[in-house]
Chains A and B, each alone.
Chain A
Amino acid sequence: MSQVRVLVGTRKGAFVLNADGKRDRWQISGPFFPGWEIYHVAGSPAEPDRLFASQSSGWFGQVIQRSDDGGATWEPVGNEFKYDGDTGTHQWYDGTPHPWEFARVWHLEPAPDDPDTVYAGVEDAGLFKSTDGGQHWAELPGLRTHKSAPDWAPGAGGMCLHTIILDPAHPGRMFAAISAAGAFRSDDAGQTWQPVNRGLHSEGIPDEDAEVGHCVHRVAMHPARPEVLYMQKHWDVMRTDDAGESWHEISGNLPTDFGFPIGVHAHEPDTVYVVPITSDSHHFPPEGKLRVYRSRTGGNDWEALTRGLPQEHCYVNVLRDAMAIDSLEGCGVYFGTTGGQVYASADAGDSWAPIARDLPAVLSVEVQTLP
């Protein structure tokens, strides 16, 4: 029977949750790296027992950990993330130029076909690549040195590169998203980049439809239809049908179009999930009801998924990297909250149950579907 492994990064350590394909009994191991912030844990599609974890702290900086046995044991690997060449400046919160400074790795994206290749999205926004299993990291500087970069500015959580998508159908095509700069596409394996933000509209910036400056929270793709991308922006849920050349809004009947994560069903490219959050100052669900919203039409028409989720007095947040989707036949959906709960649905969102209740605040959730 298939198995699933859920990888949870929290404010105070990492956890690994295992279950068989029924997904009704979970074994929790951890905390790994207790006391450290774990922004992301990700598994290699090419070698699923190889995991990478971003471990960081305000005291001791960045560590990258690697496991080659599915999370049972870990070894630190390379932690030097040095920007390539002149680091230049971006805008600071007060509008003044501010030098690029490495803070932490937000997101790790292992390559689908090589267990030694992994990408890292970092704060201040930059894209790094390792081809030796995380021992050494080299920047792909074409993104950070884009001509628009001096105008990028940090979002409230820092100027982070949080989304990396490798297009499975077009060799060399990849997407990255930065808060608060926007979405970018490379067609040459990360050497050069172009902003792909046409159609985005952000009321919080001076030029509301500027080429860059949008606070993109998350972007998701279905691998069978890679020209379609879904985006949860600071406000607005958006969709492109042409690999980012143009976007249109699909917020439709959502109770609020603010939120952080967005995900796509493993077998239905038109089925999309978001978690609406009241506003950028509230950072909790509307009416104290934790609801995942699902569209089966590629956006605009959304249904609330509530069965098994708290429907009163719930004031948690769900962060941008804290939703994941497995690829079992009965598609599983997972998300973690800032209250330390991890919820799972084994029926594409129709019903939910907590698989961990009292973890530290959840920063990220990934899931691996194992044979």
Chain B
Amino acid sequence: MIRVVLPAHLRTLARVNGEVELQVEGAVTQRAVLDALEARYPVLRGTIRGHDGGPRRAFVRFYACEQDLSHEPPDDPLPAAVAAGTEPYLIVGAMAGG
């Protein structure tokens, strides 16, 4: 299972507590994880990336394993620890706005 951590506002919007666990078929990429997330929680469509699957909203960042993956190609594989479920994939509202 892929573990995903949402920012607080999106947890409220999706009505979830804590981490989200997702089953991802095939290669575990950022696109595949976001596709699975939006399929489970359609209310999140448009809040992380464009409705058509991209691009990432400017003040949303993607982290995992202490790396900033925000600018990585969406179809690149995520770190093995994320694919194995030992590390979460973090969706973060960027620090901005004071």
Contacts and interface: CB of A to CB of B under 8 A. Distances in A.
A79 interface: yes
Chain B at the A interface: SS class: loop
A60 B51 contact: no
Interface residues of A, number: 13
Interface of B: 7, 9-10, 13, 43, 45-48, 51, 57, 59-60, 93-94, 96-97
A62 B48 CA distance: 11
B2 to A, nearest CB: 21
B47 A60 contact: yes
B9 A60 contact: yes
Contacts of B97: 58
Contact of B60 (A36, A60, A76, A80): A60
B93 A76 contact: no
Chain A at the B interface: SS class: loop
A61 B94 CA distance: 13
Nearest to A35: B9
Contacts of B46: 61-62, 79-80
A80 B57 CA distance: 14
Interface in A61-92: 61-63, 76, 79-80, 82
A59 B51 contact: no
Contacts of A82: 51
Contacts, number: 39
B9 A36 contact: yes
A131 interface: no
A245 to B, nearest CB: 40
Contacts of A62: 46
A57 interface: yes
12 contacts: A36-B9, A58-B59, A58-B96, A58-B97, A59-B59, A59-B96, A60-B13, A60-B57, A61-B47, A76-B13, A79-B45, A80-B45
Given A59-B60, A59-B96, 9 more contacts: A59-B9, A59-B93, A60-B13, A60-B57, A61-B46, A63-B13, A76-B43, A79-B47, A80-B46
Contacts of B13: 60, 63, 76
A36 B59 CA distance: 14
Chain B CB within 10 Å, residue with most, of A36, A58, A59: A59
B37 to A, nearest CB: 14
Chain A CB within 10 Å, residue with most, of B43, B47, B57, B93: B47
